[in-house]
Copies of this chain bind each other. A is one copy, B any other.
Amino acid sequence: MRPVSIGGVALTPVGEQWELSLRDLACEAALKALDSVEIDHIDALYIANMAAAPIQGQLHLGAMLADALGLRRIPAIRVEAAQASGGVAIHEAYLAVASGLYDSVIVVGVEKMSDALPEEVRSALAMAEDQEYTAYTGVTDIGLCALLHRLYMERYEAKPEEIASLAAVSHEHAVGCPHAQYPFKVSVERILSSPMEADPIHMLECSGIGDGAAALILTADAGNVEIAASTVAVDHFFLTERRDPLTLEAVRMASKRAYEMAGISPRDIDLVELHDLTTIMGILSLEDLGFVEKGFGARYVSEGNVRRDGELPVNTFGGLKARGNPVGATGVYQVAEVALQLLGEADRCQVEDAETGLAENLGGVASTCSITILRRR
């Protein structure tokens, strides 16, 4: 396989974009990314989206967006893996360039949730779980996380404030980030006094959902940032079938393969964008990505290690919690953010001397995990 580089990056602000359609959002990100590069031809378009069918009544986003962008006659392909659609679309785009068939491809992640009523959004998000069993019971993804959160506290004697500290750090990192939905500080006390979303998870421990689009151009031309690894793995769909619900096997497997592919170990990673759907998912991820031993993730975070100036900066633009969670586009945001860090273009969010960064994108409650490792050349 030949090396693949990041050629260009674009992000739109995450939030409630009432005046922009799904197409507007996707085009804004894509055109900005295309403007940022000197490539005279795009060979293929990959589009990451979860919920346009239930929310906008729209499938076939590949053809639609290629047409809107004036990218005629190219292959245009939508990839869907629930909330991991972004990371998985990047994997497909990576393979497309690495294979040698395409030289330059654009990946656009887009999601527009504000068009729908809250119950329609809940119903669309529930489609990430098994409709005949899990979703049928009415449990939400936050409800499933709550089971893990409680078990984690009990088994590892983790304190609520230790787990909640991930949300506080994420908010701190989002301050000054122009594309963040919630770019302000929130204290651990404030988080733990917010209403229960699903006991023991507080509302301010959950990521919200937002509208947004992000775009990446991948190219066979040597660039300043290369994709050192791109992997995908799945786990049992039902939590009840997993050997240990507190071990995210998809994260373990995808990251293990990614480290092998990049020829590195977790110690070589300088910063991480986590899929912190809830605080507990971020904590478990830190452990299963190999950064800290199982059961010690919450303490590690609460001790300040994941702050911008800490041992392992995490969610450097705010993560799902504070940058926001544009669902099927989230994985593209994450990889774009890692690229901005390595390019030294992260402005007020800049981490010093970062050479290697990792993005973790999850679908469902880690039924799918996509890992992307970027490295500065």
Measured CB to CB, the residues of A under 8 A from B are 1, 21, 23, 44, 50-51, 53-54, 56-60, 62-64, 66-68, 72-82, 88, 91-92, 95-96, 98-101, 123, 126-132, 135, 231-238, 241, 249-250, 253, 363-364, 367-368
Contact = CB atoms under 8 A, between A and B. Distances in A.
18 contacts: A44-B232, A57-B127, A58-B127, A60-B82, A60-B368, A62-B234, A62-B368, A63-B363, A64-B237, A64-B367, A66-B234, A67-B236, A67-B237, A74-B234, A75-B234, A77-B81, A79-B80, A80-B80
Given A80-B78, A81-B77, A100-B1, A60 B236 contact: no
Contacts of A128: 59-60
Name, among A131, A233, A363, the residue most crowded by chain B CB atoms within 10 Å (CB to CB): A131
Contacts of A98: 99-101
Given A56-B131, A59-B80, 11 more contacts: A1-B101, A51-B53, A53-B53, A53-B54, A60-B81, A62-B88, A63-B367, A72-B249, A73-B250, A76-B81, A99-B100
Nearest to A68: B237
A363 B96 CA distance: 21
Given A60-B368, A127-B57, A233 B75 contact: yes
Given A1-B101, A99-B98, A131 B77 contact: no
So how many copies of this chain end up in the complex? 2
Contacts of A44: 232
